[in-house]
Amino acid sequence: MLEGKVAAVTGASSGIGRATALALARAGARVIAGARRAGRLDALASEIAAAGGTAIARPLDVAERASCEAFVRAAADEWGRVDILVNNAGLMPLSFVKRLKVDEWERMVDVNIKGVLYMTAAALPAMAEAKSGHIVNVSSVAGRLVFPAGSVYCGTKHFVTAFSEGLRQELSARSGIRVTCIEPGVVATELTSTITDESLSSFVEGAKKMEALRSEDIAASILYAVEAPAHVNVNEVLIRPREQER
Ligand code: NDP
């Protein structure tokens, strides 16, 4: 269904990004996979190639504007364009505000917010000129509600949800670019590995007792959005594990 399309996936070295890159390639897209851990990306590209798909791996730090621009340029050099951009890279070092983990707040702003902006800015001009394209932003249930120790993370994800809606209003009707905001609940990935606030260890362990979503579940929702007919704009997908209440 995605034959001929070029898809750029950020944060493709693990979790949701990795599963999404695999799913897009399986559906026929040529995939450029980015993240900082180059070894993992190379393994992913080999896995895609071994299954008969097409992928290239490129180191990417979404917190660096020049890196985002180079990433999109690499896709253009290889295949001439980017049709689908999946802004997935993100981190979640949850902590209570009173712990003043200001460096972690800054990192979340740099990756979860600025990373989405830089990647969008890098990919947008060619999409606007072609009057087609699809931007998929991975927000979160945390982009809809706020919970203790999530003040900053939820703030960054509220940004992603708001920015997605703004992009849709500005770009979909006028420039032919579709915009989808994905809002997962708990997904079993490495995401909690950045949490350094020790008072949250029981919360993190507690969340593991529930049957969480798998990265493949989110990849399937992204595939649903990008494979929809061109006149269909899947604006939001809110998806929780059945057992998750909030
Ligand atoms: P993972 O930790 O498994 O994946 C995060 C990915 O982001 C990794 O590939 C990591 O790669 C990449 N990344 C982090 N920093 C950067 C950076 N500066 N530049 C480029 N890539 C970076 O977690 P998930 O798969 O769960 O997270 C993916 C997205 O899903 C995030 O935006 C997260 O907020 C969101 N999400 C996750 C949920 C969950 O429960 N897991 C729920 C709701 C939303 P590397 O370290 O190699 O750079």
> What CA–CA distances, in Å, run from 189 to 73, 137, 180, 181, 215?
29, 18, 22, 19, 7
**Band of residue 227 on the pLDDT scale cut at 50, 70, 90:** very high
Is the entire prediction scored with pTM above 0.75? yes
Q: Is the pLDDT of residue 197 over 90?
A: yes
CA terminus-to-terminus distance, the chain: 35
CA distance 105 to 70: 26
User: Which ligand 1 atom minimizes the distance to the CA of 153?
Assistant: 34
Point out the ligand 1 atom lying closest to the alpha carbon of residue 141. 43
Question: pLDDT tens-digit profile of 14-24?
Answer: 999 999 999 99
pLDDT score for 220: 98
Q: Which residue has the tokens 């008969």?
A: 52
pLDDT at 226: 98
Most ligand 1 atoms within 8 A of CB, residue of 10, 14, 139, 203 to mutate:
14
Q: Which pLDDT belongs to residue 52?
A: 98
- How far does CA 36 lie from the centroid of its chain? 14
Q: Is 23 helix (H, G, I), strand (E, B) or coil?
A: helix
Average pLDDT over residues 45-55: 98
Q: Which two tokens stand for residue 85?
A: 């951009």
Mean pLDDT, residues 116-122: 99
pLDDT band with cut points at 50, 70 and 90 for residue 102? very high
Q: Distance from the CA of 74 to the center of ligand 1, in angstroms?
A: 21
Query: Do strands 133-138 and 177-184 pair parallel, antiparallel, or not at all (unpaired)?
Result: parallel
- Exactly one of 118, 153, 159, 163 is catalytic; which is it? 153
For 98, residues 6+ apart whose C-beta sits below 8 A from its C-beta are: none
Pocket of ligand 1 (CB under 6 A): 10-17, 35-37, 60-63, 88-92, 111, 138, 140, 184, 186-187, 189-191
- Stretch 212-226: mean pLDDT, rounded? 98
DSSP state of 213: B
pLDDT band at 208 (very low <50, low <70, confident <90, very high): confident
Amino acid at position 77, single letter: D
What is the per-residue pLDDT across 127-158, written as a single tens digit (0 to 9) for each? 999 999 999 999 999 999 999 999 999 999 99
What fold characterizes domain 6-239?
A: Rossmann fold (3.40.50)
pLDDT at 47 over 90: yes
Report the nearest atom of ligand 1 relative to the CA of 184: 43
Give the mean pLDDT of 188-213: 93
Q: What is the CA radius of gyration of the chain?
A: 17
Length in residues, the chain:
246
Distances in Å between the Cα of 6 and the Cα atoms of 84, 93, 132 are 6, 32, 12
Choose the residue to mutate in 20, 31, 36 for probing ligand 1, maximizing ligand atoms within 8 Å of C-beta: 36
pLDDT of residue 159: 99
Strand partners, 237: 182
Q: Hey, which of 18, 138, 145, 163 would you mutate to test ligand 1's pocket, going by the most ligand atoms within 8 Å of its Cβ?
A: 138
Question: Any catalytic annotation for residue 224?
Answer: no
Share of the chain above pLDDT 90, in %: 97
Per-residue pLDDT, 206: 83
**What is the distance between the alpha carbons of residues 27 and 10, in angstroms, rounded to a whole number?**
18
Inter-residue contact 227 to 1 (CB < 8 Å): yes
- For tokens 């120790």, the residue is 149
Task: Give the pLDDT confidence score for residue 87 in this predicted structure.
Answer: 99
Confidence of residue 85 (pLDDT cuts 50, 70, 90): very high
pLDDT at 205 exceeding the cut of 90: no
Residue nearest atom 19 of ligand 1, based on CA coordinates: 61
Q: Both tokens of residue 137?
A: 């932003």
- Ligand 1, atom 12: closest residue by C-alpha: 11
Task: Report the distance separating Cα 223 and Cα 123, nearest Å.
Answer: 19
pLDDT of residue 150: 98
